[in-house]
Amino acid sequence: MKNSTLRTLLSHRSIREYKDKKVEEEKIEDIVEAGMQAPFVSQMYSVIMEKEKENIPFDAPILFTICVDVYKIKKVMEKRDWELVTNDLTLLIFGIQDAAYMAQNMVVAAESMGLGTCYLGSPVMTARHLKEKYNLPEKVFPVVQLVVGYPRERPPVRPRYPLEFVLFEDEYPKFSDEDIERAMETMDQGFLQEDYYRKLNAMISVKSKDEDDLTYDDYSWTEHISRKWGQWYDELEGQMEKLEACGFELSGED
């Protein structure tokens, strides 16, 4: 029999419809404090919160923006008469770990109290705007946003790869075509059964075609993810500019 923590984790689903109901202050504090108790490298994180704003996605009552925060570490070091010399790429990698651990703890805490959540990955592409909006200092980079509120829907749990396509003992395996096709089928059939992309009206267009040869009857996860990463963000410079706007220098130039 699974314990309550496992049941919370295994029943996770993204919520995109929320009740018109405020989240109690004590629950907000519990969510953030649970996030702070996540394992960390150097507590290189900060959280910006918006409440009951018209521009919060899905009409959720709360929007958290979880950031990599090297600025605070730098200030602490200055008090100790130390200069920050670690390169920004290393700081960013470790900071992303800190921020990600915190964000996931916040999700688990919120869902354990009957709240719904949904991650938003857009901050990595809108970092310059968020820096200005939230007055972020240098070396603070928004990694992910999280909406939280009381759910007004209960969608099914989303499909995941088969365990054998994820967990490898001792070494990474050589996949056969059958292994890959079986994992693809697991994902695609699960999303098709839920009619997931039709409900979201979320088919990505193919830039090289005037007409699409797929409909929502056969458009599913592996095609969606292939269209996304097979067409988007092929230029590194755009992302580098966003990081540099937030004070992270990754070019290697003095």
pLDDT tens track for 118-149: 999 999 999 999 999 999 999 999 999 999 99
Q: Are residues 219 and 110 in the same domain?
A: no
Number of domains in the chain: 2
For the record, the structure tokens of 161 come out as 């790869």
Q: Are residues 170 and 79 in the same domain?
A: no
Q: Are residues 131 and 28 in the same domain?
A: yes
Asked if the structure places residue 95 within a domain, the reply is yes
Q: Are residues 171 and 54 in the same domain?
A: no
Q: Are residues 56 and 178 in the same domain?
A: no
pLDDT of 216? 96
pLDDT digits (tens, 9 = 90+) for 11-64: 999 999 999 999 999 999 999 999 999 999 999 999 999 998 888 999 999 999
Q: Are residues 198 and 219 in the same domain?
A: yes
Q: Which residues contact 11 (CB under 8 A, 6 or more apart)?
A: 111, 157
Q: Which of 113, 133, 154 is the last residue of a domain?
A: 154
pLDDT of 209? 82
More confident residue, 160 or 208: 160
Asked if the structure places residue 254 within a domain, the reply is no
pLDDT digits (tens, 9 = 90+) for 181-227: 999 999 999 999 999 999 999 999 998 888 888 999 999 999 999 99
Q: Are residues 35 and 117 in the same domain?
A: yes
Is pLDDT at 253 greater than 90 in this prediction? no
Amino acid occupying residue 109: A
Q: For the whole model, what pTM was predicted?
A: 0.92
pLDDT of 55? 87
Is pLDDT at 251 greater than 90 in this prediction? no
Q: Are residues 107 and 205 in the same domain?
A: no
Is pLDDT at 254 greater than 70 in this prediction? no
Domain residues for 46?
Answer: 4-154
Mean pLDDT of the chain: 95
Asked if the structure places residue 243 within a domain, the reply is no
* Helix (H), strand (E), coil (C) string for the chain: CCCHHHHHHHCCCECCCECCCCCCHHHHHHHHHHHHCCCCCCCCEEEEEEECCCCCHHHCCEEEEEEEECHHHHHHHHHCCCCCCCCHHHHHHHHHHHHHHHHHHHHHHHHHCCCEEEEECHHHCCHHHHHHHHCCCCCEEEEEEEEEECECCCCCCCCCCCHHHCCCCCCCCCCCHHHHHHHHHHHHHHHHHHCHHHHHCCCCCCCCCCCCCCCCCCCCHHHHHHHHHCCCCCCHHHHHHHHHHCCCCCCCCC
